[in-house]
Amino acid sequence: MLKKLGRHPIVLKVLGNALAYYLWLVRRTSTLTMEPANFYEEYASEQPFVLAMWHGQHFMVPFARPKDWPCSVMISRSNDGEINAIAASKLGIGLIRASGSQRQDQIAKRGGVRGFVAALRALKQGTTMGMTADVPKGPARKAGMGIVQLAKHSGRPLLPIAIATSRHYDFNSWDKASLNLPFSKIGLVFGEPIPVPEDASEADLEMYRLKLENAMNEVTDKAYAIAKG
């Protein structure tokens, strides 16, 4: 009965709105340091991007978006995804409801193909597309190939991003999820954009996947160093 109640649309909406207001509270009570400090000015002409973030480290990412940069995110159709989707929408982010999978037979069920097409359309229209690079359920912080394929077929560069807070609660979950806490120092780090050629071979794609994975780990480490520093 409790499980059924937790799936009720009204309950999910309440939780999603509560999450949005909570994250807003974290941002308003914290100080943010961005690296590079002039990223928005320097790269404004290069948008839209395929924004790459890690699972479980994504909660504060909506606050990294300049108001004049349209941005959408791909979020799963699970109950947890519904809560995240409501919160993201409340914080001004567009939505595409789909997710990837390690299993080929699950991709269609989770809306992966439809989501991929919708993401291509959004990028073509000038909207930056945010995605978690690692595929549920694990391994954590191992970039999947889907986000690299999206960069290849859209012609838009991958952009590694990480945002961390000095105060946080870490969950014992597959994605090493971290809940940001108020009254923190925030570190926001962008990596160098990574273009993926449209004629990239399978071997090339694996090279770009590893390049993205390494860049994401690097920006994550930097974000935590800034927050803790």
In tens digits, what is the pLDDT along the chain, a chain of 229 residues? 445 555 778 889 999 999 999 999 999 999 999 999 999 999 999 999 999 999 889 999 999 998 889 999 998 888 788 999 999 999 999 999 876 544 444 444 455 688 899 999 999 999 999 999 988 776 778 999 999 999 999 999 999 999 999 999 998 888 888 999 999 999 999 999 999 999 999 999 999 999 999 999 999 999 999 999 8
Q: Tell me the residue type at 84.
A: N
Judge whether 129 and 139 are in contact, CB under 8 Å: no
CA-based radius of gyration for the chain: 17
Which string of b and e fits 187-220 if b means at least 16 CB within 10 Å?
bbbbbebbebeeebeeeebeebbebbbebbeebb
Query: 3-state class of 56 per DSSP?
Result: coil
- Cα–Cα distance, 107 to 195 (Å, whole number): 25
Q: How far apart are the first and last CA of the chain?
A: 46
- Cα–Cα distance, 57 to 225 (Å, whole number): 15
Annotated domain spans of the chain = 2-228
Q: Tell me the residue type at 24.
A: W
Q: Tell me the residue type at 139.
A: P
Which string of b and e fits 140-166 if b means at least 16 CB within 10 Å?
bbebbbbbbbbbbebebbbbbbbbbbb
- What is the value of pTM for the model shown? 0.88
Judge whether 133 and 146 are in contact, CB under 8 Å: no
